[in-house]
Amino acid sequence: MRILIVGFIAGMFALSCNQDVRTEKELYLDAQKFEAAQEFNKALKIYDLIIENYPESQDRYKAVFMIGFLQMEHLKNKKESIEAFDRLISEYPDCDLADDAAVLRDIALKGADIMSTFEDSLDSK
């Protein structure tokens, strides 16, 4: 357990000191680890790093989407989620997540949550 904690701290130190050295793929993996550990604010910081450090990336829109999703589903920050989804739709209208972002934005605008919306949809069939 102690080795795991030391390794985690060393990894976080390396991330904070060498942000420009980490590849985009490594940052995505780090963000996913934080999500799995339910450390959503840390995952958001990683996604922000991806957006900031890889502006020409073909996968940058995925970080924007995940910011919206985490803000909506886990942190319950309606305003921030809508802003992220609007950004994705505006900047990447033809990406494969644009339609999903539009649906989630509309759900957030209604003040609903994802699961209840889908449950209502299933119940109406």
Residues 6+ apart with CB under 8 A from 74: 38, 40
Rounded to 10 deg, the angle between the 40-53 and 24-36 helix axes is: 170
Q: Greater confidence, 59 or 8?
A: 59
Predicted TM-score (pTM) above 0.75: yes
pLDDT of residue 3: 58
Polymer length of the chain:
125
Q: Greater confidence, 42 or 9?
A: 42
Residues 6+ apart with CB under 8 A from 62: 28, 97
Q: What is the mean pLDDT of the chain?
A: 86
Q: How far apart are CA 87 and CA 65, in angstroms?
A: 9
Evaluate if residue 21 carries a pLDDT over 70: no
What does the pLDDT average to over 98-116? 88
- The answer to whether 68 and 103 are in contact (CB under 8 A) is no
The pLDDT tens digits of the residues spanning 52-83 come to: 999 999 999 999 999 999 999 999 999 999 99
CATH topology of domain 2-123: 1.25.40
Q: How far apart are CA 43 and CA 48, in angstroms?
A: 9
pLDDT of residue 6: 44
Q: For the chain, what are the domain ranges?
A: 2-123
Q: How far apart are CA 80 and CA 115, in angstroms?
A: 19
Going by pLDDT thresholds of 50, 70 and 90, the confidence category of residue 34 is very high
